[in-house]
Structure 1
Amino acid sequence: MQTELLPLNDTLNALKGDLLVAIERFELVAKATRDVIWDWDLLKGTFWWSSGMQERFGYRPDELESGPGSWFDRIHAEDQERVIRNIYLIIEKEESNWSDFYRFRRSDGSYANVHDRGYTIQINGKPVRMVGSMIDITDQLRSEQAHKESEENLKFALQAARLGTWNMDPINKVVQFDDHCRALYGMPSDEQLNYDSLVQFIHYQDRERVRLAVAQALDNKSRSAYDIRYRALGASDKILRWLHCNGKAYFTEEGMPYRFTGIMRDVTHEISSQEKVLWADQQAAMTIEGSGAGSFLIKLGTNEIIHSPTLARIITGKEDVNISRDVFVLHVHPEDILLRLAAYAKAIETGELRYEARFVWNDQSIHWVRVIGNYLYDSTGHPISISGIVMDITDRIESEHKLRESEERLRTLVEQAPVATALFVGEDMIIDIPNEAMLKLWGKGDAVIGMPLRQALPELEGQPFLSILKNVYEKGEAHSDKSARGDIMIDGKLETFYYDYTYKPLCNSDGEIYAILNMALDVTEQVKSRQELERSEERYRQLANELEQRVEQRTAELHQANAELVNSNNNLQQFAYAASHDMQEPLRKIQSFGSRLQITYAGALDENGVFMLDRIQDASKRMSLMIDDLLAYSRLTTRNDEFRPVQLTQIVKGVLADLEISIQEQETDIHVGTLPVVWGNSSQLTQLMQNLLSNAIKYKKPDVPSKINISWHEVMPAELKVLPTSLPDHRYLCLEIADNGIGFDEKHLDKIFQMFQRLHGRSEFSGSGIGLALCKKVVQNHHGYITAKSEPGKGSTFLVYLPQPK
């Protein structure tokens, strides 16, 4: 039993130093992220907390138990069993990650909502430690709840005030009514919910006045507030009602209206009895949001003001202050004074006072306020008083501002997206903010904006896209596809394209899907090229089969005459099989027959046949070279008893002598300093230097003198940590082979040391793609490490870490 524990104890001792460093890093992370870091030793049963425990939850280090009870005992009773069960389940299953949300008791007895995450440290597949971080998310949850309650209060306020909300798309004239607005219009059908249809339900005497008010509101120059009363005849119940509508249009930076929204209420009784309705309106306003609105009455003869405490709070920030009528002047924001004066000038003409402005409280904070009032007249028509309500609409204004910013950000992202992108809104898939790339992909102009996708691209009928979009909208599951075929009408002609595309559902604050984001990439050329390549490969296979049949037929005819040559070739094949591997035999046969075909029948083949025969020869040569390299790679097995001191200077001299012709052809200047003695295998180190120097010579920049520098330095203990494994009691050196060649992007660093991986085509640089993999294998056999530093066009430096003799 003790013998079995020795490897585990050795491993634990080896990790001891690393764990101390890890604890210091935990402390730094905790201070930087405001997380509470913890460390649980599963073998010893000890528990460690970072200093964040006192900062976040008020526990001093001397108050905390040494075991996991310091954690588990402070978990809320309703969460404790679940959390502990899940933790031990992760440990028992030997899994790596654990995460949970629960309540954790502070030192003052209150509970914090936390998000906790843990990660196991395993040795020989068994968890020995668990480390993690705990985040206090109490404030975040409280903010989300407050936001939800605010939205619910706004909805309740609209219902309590019997206000209906409406929205109109100025481009396609589609109108959206809530249930209350539908009722006020006598429940029109869905087909009638567009501007031109709804206007027909307005009393003929009011119709042109409404049209003019809407046009002025949507005009970029006037941008008039939409505030109008008119009569409407119910679509189904045929009841005549007086309606009061308030609305506002929103414009893009180019001055185009993109949204027209507002509220609607029934003012039939107000019109029939103005004074009675005004009083009822005051009473209703005072009850909105539990007295959230303030009321006022100003006697024009004496300027005396009668007001509710809520009005004082909305205007000044305090309810218990004495105010005069001047409060509306003294507290209005300087930039909104002219707006207020214009509203009063209009009220003198219409009898109705309505405006929205910023008011500055006594503490200098700024709040948006909506003022609604009506003049009361005596029997001669002379105004005697003005009464009304004020409402704090800061939240609404800020929400509209955030919504506008969100919409603008989305629009900017879509317009600047590097791929074709568009938004499909609602069940009808209304096309919204398609970028130029998407319009080009469709072959359509911006006239399709605001149109249903089915109408804008009728050729999609019968293709799968519309049904897929419907499924995404209904189920909320994103969909993506690659190389999907699509037939699109371009300039009146139906053409076939291929796309990589994604449909992603977008949700509003209530979690309801309101649109689908479409991102697409035209891969037609790639698909067609691939199809053409497949056809070419099929033609190549057919030609190769025909060529093989010809070769077999001709070989049979010449069999008798070439008996001696065949016998000699068989002897050569047996030798090749014994010397290299079974794979060399078919390659040599291909090369042999190919050569005879080139010599004997080159004149009988057409240009395509000669080309394909050359390709066969080149491929067989590359395969032969690859097999040689693979065999060399497979032979790279070294036992520790084969290691001995090796003089690198002698190794490099021998390699440079072998590469003398390549060095002269490439006009390479190689500088080699005095190199040290390393602990290793001489033949394998020769292969290592042969491949590294060959690459440095081969990958030179055109028309630039090639320079290679070979140097080394002692490896310090801190640098030694990059090595996955190392020989104990051995010092290490770092050998550097630097060149001024073409270089490469370091994002491909891991790729270049893999088998058959190439960063350049064979037409640019020859090779099997095994050389650097062989280098990596040699270095690993020597318990070392190999890496590289490079930039495209700025050369490469290969770093080789090797052990030195004791």
Structure 2
Amino acid sequence: MLSVESYIGNPEKNSETGLLDIVLDSSIQTNLDSICELVLTIFDAQACLITANFSQGPITLSQCGESLSELNDNQQASINRVKQFEEFVLDTNPNTNADSKNTASTIYEAHSPIIFPSGLVFGMLIFERHSESPLDGKEKAILSILQRDITNHLIQQKQAFEEAKSTELHTLISKHNQDWIFVKDESFRIVYANDAFLGVYPENMQDKIIGFTTLEEYDVAEAELFLADDKTAFEKGICIVTEDLHMPDGQHIIVETVKRRFEDEYGKAYILGVCRNVTRREHLIRELKKANDELDDFTSIASHDLKSPLNAIKRLLEWIEEDCKALLPEEHLENLNLVMNRADRMQVLLDDLLRYARIDQGDISTAEINLAEVKHDVTQLLDLPKNITVNIDEGMLTVPVVPFKTVMLNLIGNAIKHNDKAEGLVKVTMLDSRHHYIIEVSDNGPGIEPKYFDRIFQLFQTLRSRDELEGSGIGLSVVMKHLNNFDGKIEVESDGKLGSTFRVYWPKKAK
């Protein structure tokens, strides 16, 4: 809610008098002083003052003429409570001045509240006069006009101040913004450019920017693109492009430019352009794309150039075993079996590595599924020992089906593979929250010591020797990569003795 302070500022204590005082804008002070002088003239008043109702109490803003007669307590209180014009009789005395006509004269004190259209009681206009009668209707109407002049002037000054402040703020923002900001008219001439935009051009060219198109400073092809984008912005209202530019100062940069059409108060059309240097970002994106392409090439090489010789090695080992099984000593057969196991392990590792590399290329289509459907996949795809029981809750989810099921199968498979109990149990439960599906995969296996929590999600990391337990050490890395791709997360709870719980937070799809 607006207050007196929002129009004329806050009062401060005068260091000399110790009283509250306020220094007004010169235009406001002049207007109030003029009103006081008009009151003296129009109403033949002896004194006039204008007060403002601050939270600390009324403060005089302007005063002229003789000092006002001292008010009694009731009249002083009226300054704070009065909501409409009131006129008090202070005294009635015979005029004893020798030059007068010896007519009786009454001293009147007029209190007229200054009220804004919003209902804010700004203050009071008070004047004292000697007259034979109170103010009549015509005089009250004139007083209303004077008061309206006060409120109108204060409102206009406040609006002008806010507009000037807003303009100054916008100018500062534009001036210090590192983006290039410019405005073009319908003839494609630049009518405004901030310092960042001007700084792109050599100093001897900067006086040829405002009022010019500057198209001649660019290659013909680039200039034609600029014009096409400008025309699109004027016709459709907006144009957003990313382009490579050769600047007048010799730089080669990549920029993202947004051009928007707008109209001034007279209906004249312009386009506002904001141009951002995204060279570093685009170079990083291009480097990342190159790295991804190289990873794809590696995947292709691994699929063909590594798997083929590996399969040949495995076949040769199998032939040697068939041909020499009866000829080789027992210890030599053990070594041969060890080599064959290593070849099988390498095959598994290579297959897992290829699946990990291709995660970003998989099917990510979304559908509604029941969590219990994972039980069928566990039965079909995992080697489920007879001593392991897997319980999975019912619960509907809308998720990317393939990535989600891959995560679940890796977690459940991990819990099955590492379970060392005679009667193993794996439970999958779902909790609901506002922004995530929370799925817990718990087991009664050996657990994981907390010091290994970070290590288990790293590529190729296992906590037991591969001779003890076969595995590539990629399963939980696959889980982490899928969750990172979908802005999910995973937590682990275990004391290293009584089983483990993996808690997956899978983001819900925005509706």
Superposition TM-score, scaled by structure 2 size: 0.39
Q: With CA pairs under 8 Å and 6+ residues apart, which has the higher RCO, 1 or 2?
A: 2
Larger radius of gyration: 2
